[in-house]
């Protein structure tokens, strides 16, 4: 398989690439990672792994159609897995334009380039080609405390600019299947966590703020509920779906670990108390503070992934307690990575401002 991965320097994409290249029975002949290296990218997703002749990195934007056409021609891809997206809800509230450009128009350009490539493939390879679009449970909107979990047939009802841009891209992918017969797949995942996550996200933000003696900000009352999925479980699910799902399929991927944000942060504090106690012996939970809730904050997400279990036999391997313990241990052992990735973010932002 020759595989194009977009956004492979992001958190989930990087884990997917590491998994694919490390697998003993990997079908990969060539993997091209196309990433624009925006502020949240990890510029070295394969750090610590041996050099691999199957892997190639290309810095570029999915909005660049000539670049996309060249990559498809030169590498003769058998599949695309599309991670590239702007993802942070707070940033989408402050500056939504980048989300519309990348998540909607970028997905359109990638679909069109893939469709042109598909038309050139011989019949057998055309039948086996796949375009896997990685989306989010946030496209479904919000749930009440007693509502059933989101299923694949739950209507889309996005409540933030980020979620709206992802819902739009989902619909473009759906239209490509129904109008042009594109062999597409769509996945919608719950909140991911694990090693190497960018420090603006909740879990690494809490860990690093705690270790630096800063406050641990919780939006509103902290009773917003999320389902937490370990990133390695997510990567396993995506590989399974890419290899075995039928064109047009949509699958939810969840960790089956619902927690209120406040309870999750308290659990992180307890784990830090165990692994890296404060010098003064006080609990990290004393650093928790509540801040004004963000606009349009969804109250609860919950994922029903029974269809994925029934169709393809996938199940998560990590429970939240063990996953959090391992995640805390990784961040404690890799503080230099955190400092380097944060410095990379600010360097990119300075370049963007022309400073």
Indicate whether 317 pLDDT > 90.
yes
CA 156, chain centre distance (Å): 19
User: For strand 288-291 and strand 225-230, is the pairing parallel, antiparallel, or unpaired?
Assistant: unpaired
H/E stretch holding 233: helix 231-244
The token duo for 82 is 């599309």
Spatial separation of the C-alpha atoms in residues 126 and 128, rounded to whole Å:
6
pLDDT at residue 230 tops 60 = yes
* Residue 178 in this model has a pLDDT that exceeds 90: yes
Domain presence at residue 36: yes
Q: How far out from the chain centre does Cα 294 lie?
A: 21
**For residue 172, what are the CA distances in angstroms to 84, 100, 133, 154, 250?**
15, 13, 10, 17, 13
| pLDDT at residue 24 in the model | 64
Q: Which residue did the predictor score with more confidence, 128 or 355?
A: 128
What percentage of the chain has pLDDT greater than the value 70? Answer: 96
The β-bridge partners of 66 are none
Average pLDDT over residues 210-232: 95
Cβ–Cβ < 8 Å for 248, 305:
no
Write down the pLDDT at residue 350: 42
User: Of 78, 80, 44, 85, which Cα lies nearest the Cα of 61?
Assistant: 85
Higher pLDDT, 288 or 342: 288
Neighbour tally for 148: CB within 10 Å: 10
Q: Tell me if 176 sits within 8 A of 229, measured CB to CB.
A: no
pLDDT confidence of residue 353: 32
The residues assigned a catalytic role are 137-138, 162
What is the domain count for the chain? 1
Q: How far is C-alpha 281 from the chain's CA centre? A: 36
* Segments forming the whole domain that contains residue 98: 2-196+228-257+296-319
What pLDDT shows up at residue 346? 53
- Do the domain assignments include residue 214? no
How is residue 290 written in tokens?
Answer: 């509540």
Distance in angstroms (rounded) separating the CA atoms of residues 267 and 354: 41
- Specify the DSSP class assigned to residue 137: G
Per-residue pLDDT reduced to its tens digit, 53-66: 999 999 999 999 99
Residue 191, domain member (yes or no) = yes
For position 345, what pLDDT does the model report?
A: 61
CATH number of the domain that residue 180 is part of: 3.40.50.720
In 10 A of CB 132, how many CB atoms? 24
Asked, for residue 336, whether it belongs to a domain, the answer is no
In a domain, 268, yes or no: no
Helix H segments across 2-132?
A: 11-22, 65-75, 89-94, 97-99, 107-120, 123-128
The percent of residues in the chain predicted with pLDDT above 90, rounded, is 83
Q: Has this prediction a pTM greater than 0.85? A: yes
Question: What is the spatial distance between Cα 178 and Cα 172, in angstroms, rounded to a whole number?
Answer: 10
> Position of tokens 């404060």?
278
Is 54 a domain residue?
yes
Each residue's pLDDT tens digit, 115-144: 999 999 999 999 999 999 999 999 999 999
Mean pLDDT score of the chain: 93
């Amino acid at each position: 398989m020759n595989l194009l991965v977009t956004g492979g320097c992001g958190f989930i994409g990087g884990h997917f690439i590491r998994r694919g290249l490390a697998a003993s029975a990997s079908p990969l002949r060539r993997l091209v990672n196309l990433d624009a290296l925006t502020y949240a990218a990890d510029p070295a997703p394969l750090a610590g792994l041996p050099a691999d002749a199957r892997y190639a990195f290309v810095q570029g934007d999915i909005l660049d159609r000539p670049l996309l056409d060249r990559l498809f021609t030169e590498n003769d891809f058998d599949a695309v897995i599309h991670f590239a997206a702007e993802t942070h809800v707070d940033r989408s509230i402050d500056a939504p334009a980048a989300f519309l450009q990348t998540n909607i128009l970028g997905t359109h350009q990638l679909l069109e380039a893939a469709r042109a490539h598909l038309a050139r493939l011989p019949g057998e390879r055309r039948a086996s080609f796949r375009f896997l679009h990685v989306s989010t449970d946030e496209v479904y909107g919000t749930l009440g405390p007693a509502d059933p979990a989101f299923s694949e047939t739950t209507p889309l009802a996005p409540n933030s600019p980020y979620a709206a841009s992802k819902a739009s891209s989902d619909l473009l992918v759906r239209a490509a299947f129904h109008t042009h017969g594109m062999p597409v797949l769509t996945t919608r995942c719950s909140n991911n966590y694990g090693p190497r996550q960018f420090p603006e996200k909740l879990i690494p933000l809490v860990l690093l703020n705690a270790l630096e003696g800063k406050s641990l900000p919780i939006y509103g009352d902290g009773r917003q509920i999320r389902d937490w999925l370990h990133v390695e479980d997510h990567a396993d699910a995506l590989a399974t779906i890419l290899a075995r799902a039928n064109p047009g399929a949509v699958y939810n991927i969840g960790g089956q670990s619902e927690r209120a944000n406040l309870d999750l942060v308290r659990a992180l504090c307890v784990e830090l108390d165990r692994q890296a106690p404060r010098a003064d012996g006080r609990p990290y939970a004393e650093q928790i503070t509540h801040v004004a809730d963000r606009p349009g904050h969804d109250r609860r997400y919950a994922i029903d992934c029974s269809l994925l279990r029934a169709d393809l036999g996938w199940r998560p391997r990590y429970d939240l307690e063990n996953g959090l313990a391992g995640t805390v241990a990784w961040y404690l052992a890799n503080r230099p990575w955190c400092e380097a990735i944060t410095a990379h973010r600010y360097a990119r932002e300075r370049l963007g401002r022309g400073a």
